[in-house]
Amino acid sequence: MKLDDARRLSARTLALLLATALRAPAQEPEAIKARYAEIATRITAAALLKNDGYARLEELCDGVGSRLSGSPGMDRAIKWAESAMRRAGLDEVRLQPCRVPTWRRGEALLELLRPRREALPLLALGGSVPTPKGGLTADAVVVRSFAELDALPREGVEGRIVVFDVPYEGYGKTVQFRSLGASRAARKGAVAALVRSAGFGGNRTPHTGALRYEDDAPKIPAAALAPEDSAMLGRLAAAGAAPRLTLELSCSVGPDAPSANVIGRYRGRETPEEYLVVSGHLDSWDVGQGAQDDGGGCVSVLEAVAVLNRLRLRPRRSIDVVFFTNEENGLRGAHAYRDEVAKNPELCVGAYENDGGVERPTSFLITYPSGESRPSRRAAPDSRPSDPATARRFDRFAATVERVHGLACGVAGLGGGGADIGPLLDLGIPTLSPRTVGTRYFEWHHTAGDTLDKVDREDLDRHIAAQAALFYIWADLDERL
Ligand SMILES: [Zn+2]
Least confident range from 55-64, 122-131, 284-293, 387-396: namely 387-396
> For the segment 71-111, what is each residue's pLDDT rounded down to a tens digit?
999 999 999 999 999 999 999 999 999 999 999 999 999 99
pLDDT value for 371: 56
Q: Would you say residue 461 has pLDDT above 60?
A: yes
CA of 285 to the centre of ligand 1 (A): 9
β-strands 271-281, 361-367 pairing: unpaired
Q: How confident is the model at residue 22 (pLDDT cuts 50, 70, 90)?
A: very low
Rounded percentage of the chain residues whose pLDDT exceeds 70: 91
Let me know: does 463 contact 296? Beta carbons within 8 Å.
yes
Higher-confidence residue: 410 or 75?
75
Helix or strand or coil: residue 333?
helix
pLDDT value for 31: 87
Q: How confident is the model at residue 5 (pLDDT cuts 50, 70, 90)?
A: very low
- Residues making up the chain, counted from first to last: 481
Residue 2 has a CB neighbour count (10 Å cut-off) of 7
pLDDT value for 435: 93
Q: How confident is the model at residue 4 (pLDDT cuts 50, 70, 90)?
A: very low
CA of 188 to the centre of ligand 1 (A): 32
> For the segment 140-194, what is each residue's pLDDT rounded down to a tens digit?
999 999 999 999 999 999 999 999 999 999 999 999 999 999 999 999 999 999 9
> For the segment 420-448, what is each residue's pLDDT rounded down to a tens digit?
999 999 999 999 999 999 999 999 999 99
Helix or strand or coil: residue 115?
coil
Higher-confidence residue: 27 or 23?
27
Q: How confident is the model at residue 388 (pLDDT cuts 50, 70, 90)?
A: confident
Contacts of the segment 211-215: beta carbons below 8 A, 24+ positions apart: 211/125, 211/126, 211/127, 211/128, 211/178, 211/179, 211/180, 211/181, 211/182, 212/127, 212/179, 212/180, 212/183, 213/127, 213/182, 213/183, 214/180, 214/183
pLDDT value for 158: 98
Rounded percentage of the chain residues whose pLDDT exceeds 90: 81
Q: Would you say residue 3 has pLDDT above 60?
A: no
Q: How confident is the model at residue 360 (pLDDT cuts 50, 70, 90)?
A: very high
How high is the mean pLDDT of the chain? 92
CA of 468 to the centre of ligand 1 (A): 21
User: Which residues lie at CB < 5 A from ion ligand 1?
Assistant: 293-294, 355
Output the pTM of the full model: 0.92
CA of 196 to the centre of ligand 1 (A): 19
pLDDT value for 380: 54
The reply to whether 28 belongs to the active site is no
Exposed, middle or buried, 256 (CB in 10 Å: 0-12/13-18/19+)?
Answer: middle
pLDDT value for 184: 98
- Residue 400 neighbours by CB under 8 Å, 6+ apart: 32, 36, 412, 470, 473, 474, 477, 481
Q: How confident is the model at residue 479 (pLDDT cuts 50, 70, 90)?
A: confident
Contacts of the segment 312-316: beta carbons below 8 A, 24+ positions apart: 313/39, 313/43, 313/472, 314/266, 314/267, 314/268, 314/269, 315/268, 315/269, 315/471, 315/472, 315/473, 315/474, 315/475, 315/476, 316/268, 316/269, 316/270, 316/271, 316/274, 316/475, 316/476, 316/477
Helix or strand or coil: residue 123?
strand
Q: Would you say residue 236 has pLDDT above 90?
A: yes
> For the segment 97-106, what is each residue's pLDDT rounded down to a tens digit?
999 999 999 9
Q: How confident is the model at residue 1 (pLDDT cuts 50, 70, 90)?
A: very low
Q: What whole-number distance in Å separates Cα of residue 380 and Cα of residue 364? A: 13
Q: How confident is the model at residue 405 (pLDDT cuts 50, 70, 90)?
A: low
Indicate which residue of 82, 274, 327, 402 is catalytic: 327
- Report which of 243, 185, 178 is spatially closest to residue 212, judged by C-alpha positions: 178
Let me know: does 160 contact 194? Beta carbons within 8 Å.
no
CA of 115 to the centre of ligand 1 (A): 38
Let me know: does 373 contact 414? Beta carbons within 8 Å.
yes
- C-alpha distances out from residue 263 to 82, 94, 331, Å: 8, 5, 16
Beta strands in 47-168 (DSSP E): 92-104, 108-114, 118-119, 122-124, 136-143, 161-164
Higher-confidence residue: 346 or 16?
346
The dihedrals phi and psi of 306, each to the nearest 5 degrees, come to: -60, -35
